[in-house]
Homo-oligomer: A and B are copies of this chain.
């Protein structure tokens, strides 16, 4: 989702190739031989891998405004800090698809802490605008926004609301604005599909976690 939002912000036309669950295409294996993972952006015949790197690449190649990263180095560093912080939290969402009740609860607790931390970051950086860093969607919105689908799937599967009016009122509004943005609304995944996908993954991850002592 992140690269698609970035391309939409830049008004770049693209072809969207989907992978089938349970198999990896030759094109994917050839394009990302190290991680063998989506997303991959193919541009000028060359692959770019890793969503956060793709987003920065898109911002640099289509450097006409609107820009996705702030131009000031300190604000850029701050935006990268929060995007990296969120990247580190992605595995918490996966844990929920597979783990024991105890582990699920621990992950949900951590995700709630992430939400409160991000509420603070939103308050500090939005400066009266609707988004992190100001009045247009930037790299932190893209990173955080790509988690909204998973957050909604958690609400369905686990019955826990990660964003609420009481603890994260700013983010509740932010999520509405982000989800309704023209660059975003057509690429937000449907919650029902994510829930089905989470169920499919559960079995797979349970097996993988059991066979890997380092849990990586």
Task: Enumerate chain A interface residues (CB-CB to B < 8 A).
Answer: 34, 43-44, 46, 48-50, 52-54, 56-57, 60-61, 73-74, 76-77, 80-81, 84-85, 91-92, 95, 102-103, 106-107, 110, 117, 213-216
Are B214 and A107 in contact (CB-based, < 8 A)? Answer: yes
Contacts of A76 in B (CB 8 A): 56-57, 60
Copy count, this protein chain: 2
Are B213 and A106 in contact (CB-based, < 8 A)? Answer: yes
Contacts of A56 in B (CB 8 A): 76-77, 80
Contacts of A107 in B (CB 8 A): 214
Are B84 and A53 in contact (CB-based, < 8 A)? Answer: yes
Are A80 and B53 in contact (CB-based, < 8 A)? Answer: yes
Contact of A106 among B54, B92, B214 (CB under 8 A): B214
Are B74 and A48 in contact (CB-based, < 8 A)? Answer: yes
Are A73 and B53 in contact (CB-based, < 8 A)? Answer: no
Q: A107-B214, A213-B106, A214-B95 are in contact. Are A57 and B77 (CB under 8 A)?
A: yes
In the bound assembly, the distance between CA atoms of A73 and B80 in angstroms comes to: 17
In the bound assembly, the distance between CA atoms of A117 and B110 in angstroms comes to: 33
In the bound assembly, the distance between CA atoms of A103 and B49 in angstroms comes to: 29
In the bound assembly, the distance between CA atoms of A92 and B216 in angstroms comes to: 10
Query: How many Å from the CB of A168 to the closest CB on chain B?
Result: 16
Query: How many Å from the CB of A139 to the closest CB on chain B?
Result: 12
Are B60 and A81 in contact (CB-based, < 8 A)? Answer: no
Q: A50-B81, A56-B77, A60-B73 are in contact. Are A215 and B213 (CB under 8 A)?
A: no
Contacts of A61 in B (CB 8 A): 73
- Pick 21 A–B contacts, CB within 8 A, sort by A: A34-B117, A43-B74, A46-B74, A48-B74, A49-B81, A50-B80, A50-B81, A50-B84, A52-B84, A53-B80, A53-B81, A56-B76, A56-B80, A57-B74, A57-B76, A60-B76, A92-B214, A107-B214, A110-B214, A110-B216, A215-B215
